[in-house]
Homo-oligomer: A and B are copies of this chain.
Amino acid sequence: MIIHIPENSDFSIHNIPFGIFSTKNRSKRAGVAIGEHILDLAEVHKLNVFDFDSSVLNQEFLNAFIALGKSVTSKVRSDIQSWLKDDTSILANKPELFVKQSDAQMHMPVSVGDYTDFYSSIEHATNVGKMFRDPENALLPNWKHIPVGYHGRASSIVVSGEPIHRPKGQTIPIDSKQPVFGPSQRVDFELEMGFITGKNTNLGDSVTTADAEDYIFGLVLFNDWSARDIQKWEYVPLGPFLAKNFASHISPWIVTIEALEPFKVAGPKQNPEVLPYLKYEGNKNYDISLEVGITPEGNEEQTVCHSNFKYMYWNMAQQLAHHTVNGCNIKVGDLYGSGTISGKDEKSYGSMLELAWMGTKPLKMKDGTERKFILDGDTVTMRGYAEKDGKRVGFGEVAAKILPAK
């Protein structure tokens, strides 16, 4: 191996995820993560090994690179795998190609055109339905027919590490008809994964479930912050707005869908049968272990949730087929959130709303404090990885601290 890769690294030779990084002396450019290093693709290009214009590797975002299509991007990835494995390859004895991750700053990997959030975990939707509606009829009538989704705000999606301020907004006190204004008292994380499309469609065209994965470039971890009290007051009848658009965080490395291929598993059986355009063949779920930790200011991190992407009732192919069945066009760099990923077990719930069950079961923290929701100074960290037959493909982390309201 050209470079040392620590055992158990998320960024093994089987991964080769793409991102945008900068260093003290040089501005944003494309790279791939390998072990504790970044292979600087702009530098690799200088070796004249790629037959595309180097400008796509020297931009603020990966969109132009991704837009070259999988015939190019998949080859770049597999070439890099070969070169890294071969101690006599063109990467040999060129330490200047490798930057330590600890010496680099990561940035948003893509310019997100449109961002859509789904609501595709049956456990999450059921939990929310139980809490806010009818425990006996927790799922709404459309839920098992439609991968329910809605549009979110692209501008406020930021990369792991950027702290955000607690949002302010209107909330309605219990038993009052008069809303009040102030900092949200119910800031929550949502454990999600996001996929990024790598191909445009034209307005009027649709993507089938069979073709959908050709349109997916890769996946990231996604924390879709939510202000539950703002949401409760604003969301009828047109859906969540300010409760969600104050910020969402993504992990910096896009793990390609090719790298995740070995981790495909069957999804939950869908009953009732879905409409023909939502039917699919083969395994379309992915076995990706997920966890969430909370780090109170000045204290150590405490894991509060273990979940898995394989729990999703609706898979990404169905989400994309549904999204485009009406002719809605998609673009390179668009982001699609899975919705909160909860499992059956109460330790696998992907939000504080569910973990502390609307505040009725506060989480005990090691420092003696309790958490119903996220407090100022807390850092929320999500991690995810797939592992099978000794191969590990991970996402690193998405972490962010909540600062007090401005």
- When each residue 320-345 of chain A gets 1 if its CB lies under 8 Å from chain B and 0 otherwise, what string results? 00110111111100100000000000
Q: Determine which of B146, B203, B230 lies in contact with A326 in the assembled complex, contact meaning CB atoms within 8 Å.
A: B230
A-side interface mostly: loop
Give the distance to chain B from A231, nearest Cβ to Cβ, in Å: 10
The residue on B at minimum CB distance from A230 is B326
A38 to B331, CA, bound (A): 31
The residue on B at minimum CB distance from A236 is B140
Chain A: how many interface residues by the 8 Å CB criterion?
A: 65
A169 to B122, CA, bound (A): 22
A152 neighbours in B (Cβ, 8 Å)? 151
Q: Are B238 and A150 in contact (CB under 8 A)?
A: yes
For residue A170, CB closer than 8 A to chain B, the reply is yes
- When each residue 216-258 of chain A gets 1 if its CB lies under 8 Å from chain B and 0 otherwise, what string results? 0000000000010010011111111110011100000000000
A241 neighbours in B (Cβ, 8 Å)? 116, 148-151
The residue on B at minimum CB distance from A150 is B238
Q: Are B326 and A149 in contact (CB under 8 A)?
A: no
Give the distance to chain B from A19, nearest Cβ to Cβ, in Å: 20
A113 to B113, CA, bound (A): 6
Give A118-154 interface residues, CB cut-off 8 Å to B.
119, 140-142, 145-146, 148-154
Q: Are B239 and A177 in contact (CB under 8 A)?
A: no
For residue A204, CB closer than 8 A to chain B, the reply is yes
For residue A277, CB closer than 8 A to chain B, the reply is yes
Q: Are A242 and B326 in contact (CB under 8 A)?
A: yes
A241 to B153, CA, bound (A): 14
A239 to B151, CA, bound (A): 9
Q: Are A204 and B114 in contact (CB under 8 A)?
A: no
For residue A47, CB closer than 8 A to chain B, the reply is no
**11 A-B residue pairs with CB within 8 Å:** A114-B155, A142-B234, A145-B179, A150-B151, A150-B240, A150-B241, A151-B152, A156-B203, A156-B328, A168-B326, A242-B322
Binding site for B on A (CB under 8 A): 113-114, 116, 119, 140-142, 145-146, 148-156, 158, 162, 164-165, 167-170, 172, 177-181, 203-205, 227, 230, 233-242, 245-247, 272, 275-277, 322-323, 325-331, 334, 406
